Structure 1
Amino acid sequence: MHHSLSVELAALARELHSDLDVTQTLQAILQHAPTITGCDHASVILGDGQPYEVTSATDRQAERADRFQLEIGEGPSVTAMTARLPVVVADIPGETRWSRWTTEAAQLGLQGAVSLRLGTHRSSLGALSLYSSHTDWVQHDQIDSARLCARLASVAVASTQRISALRRAVDDRTVVGQAQGILQERHGIDTEKAFTVLTAYARRRRIDVSDAAEEIISGRGHADA
């Protein structure tokens, strides 16, 4: 591995080890991707339990290239989300797969692409796609570097999403606990009864329990015991 590549990967690893949210994590990955892989454009598609969307991109070309794939349901990024190996397009204008996408990508000035699955062994998080505006960019070195970048990205995104989910769970429990306390004091009931009242209120309003709790705390909601 070239010294400059090792330095850049180490810098990315240190940055990803910081306390970043998902957006900041993706920005860090895309900031380092061109230096690590030699690409000109890069983007990330994520799902996180929701419909897949382009969550971060270095520029308009990369964003449009991925967004169009999601619109038509085909292309290297879409294919990569369920593939174990990188999806390589050495010559976009001459590529015969995904003809609708290659026409659009060529019009965007893209010549080559490498798309890689982001995720764990058990689940797919999305895809990292690297694009070049130059011919002959896709070589073995670029593919190997892209793999390393995708592995770092997969670990970082999965970890960040897990931490975010835990924080949301803690926040929800705190809010629910505060609402229970208000209901206990208001109606002279115990904790278990207060939770029953809160969940019944949430069902009537057809909202999450945490949202119902926020309404109780703010005074916008009134739950009868």
Structure 2
Amino acid sequence: MGRLRDSADEFAFTMAEVARELMQARTVTETLVRVSQLCVETVPGCDHAGVLLVRGEQVQTLASTSQLVVDSDRAQGELREGPCYDAARDATWFRVVHMGAEKRWPRYAPRARELGIGAMMGFQLFTDSDQLGALDMYADQPYGFTAMSEQLAWIFASHATVAVAASRAGDQLRLSE
């Protein structure tokens, strides 16, 4: 699957392909891994992606396309702040266009720059009682995400939420058999 260009037809085709690919994953783990991979393959500017889980005070990386994602999740958990940490906990989303100029997360932003993060997006992925997750997208360069990237990411996160819910239901059915 190639990166998306600016065509409305191509946008629709890409999202239909994403939905089909996500529904082929059989388990929650497979779904989360595929979500991360598809982010990098389809969202313009996305160099790394992953899924972060916040449970109580614990942060865990459930899927990632690179060590950068794991290191970023660890930093957000240690500092109790960051775009993806806050997206998971506050049922919202964040877009950071230039990590070097970011003021909302004064302890996390310098650490993120040390990791090589230029820009980020974080979208709440799912909620289930005390389980809160976020879909994390990273660009190596500042301004790596465009308005088109953000629009696609919103729709992508919605598809991912539905796919995770379907995978959970499938996992529960297999356990009850």
Cα RMSD (Å): 2.5
Q: Distance in 1 between matches of 2:138 and 2:35?
A: 14
| 1:132 matched to 2:112 | no
Q: Is the 8 A contact 1:89 1:114 kept in 2?
A: yes
**1:29-84 CA distance string (max 9 Å, x none):** 12211232221111101358994411111111122111211122111111101334
Q: Which residue of 2 aligns with 1:71?
A: 78
CA contact (8 A) 1:112 1:133 kept: yes
CA distance in 2: counterparts of 1:50 and 1:72, whole angstroms: 11
Q: How many residues align?
A: 170
Distance 1:3 1:67, change over 3 A: farther
Give how far 1:127 is off. Answer: 0.1
Q: Verify the 8 A CA contact 2:53 2:59 in the aligned structure 1.
A: yes
Aligned to 1:41: 48
* CA 69–19 in structure 1, closer or farther in 2 if over 3 Å, else same: closer
Cα distance change of structure 1 residues 107 and 47 upon mapping to structure 2, 3 Å threshold: closer
Aligned CA distance change for structure 1 residues 123 and 162 (closer, same or farther; 3 Å) = farther
Secondary structure of residue in 2 paired with 1:62: helix
Q: 1:21 to 1:113 in 2, by over 3 A?
A: same
Please list, as runs of the form range in 1=range in 2, the aligned pairs for 1:38-117 lying within 5 A after superposition.
Answer: 38=44, 39-46=46-53, 51-117=58-124
| RCO comparison, higher one (Cα < 8 Å, 6+) | 2
Which 5+ residue runs of structure 1 have no aligned equivalent? 172-225
Within 2, Cα distance between the matches of 1:115 and 1:140? Answer: 14
* Superposition TM-score, scaled by structure 2 size: 0.84
> Is 2:2 aligned against 1:9?
no
Per mean C-alpha deviation after superposition, the further-off stretch among 40-49 and 70-79 is 40-49
For the residues of structure 2 that align with 1:37 and 1:46, how far apart are their CA atoms? 21
Q: Which has the larger radius of gyration?
A: 1
**AA in 2 matched with 1:20:** R
> Unaligned stretches of 5+ in structure 2?
1-6
Higher alpha-carbon deviation: 148-157 or 17-26: 17-26
Cα distance, 1:107–1:52 mapped onto 2, change above 3 Å: closer
Name the one with the larger helix percent.
1
Does residue 1:25 correspond to 2:31, yes or no? yes
Q: What percentage of residue pairs aligned between the two structures are identical?
A: 29
TM-score by length of 1: 0.67
Higher strand proportion, which one? 2
CA contact (8 A) 2:54 2:89 kept: no
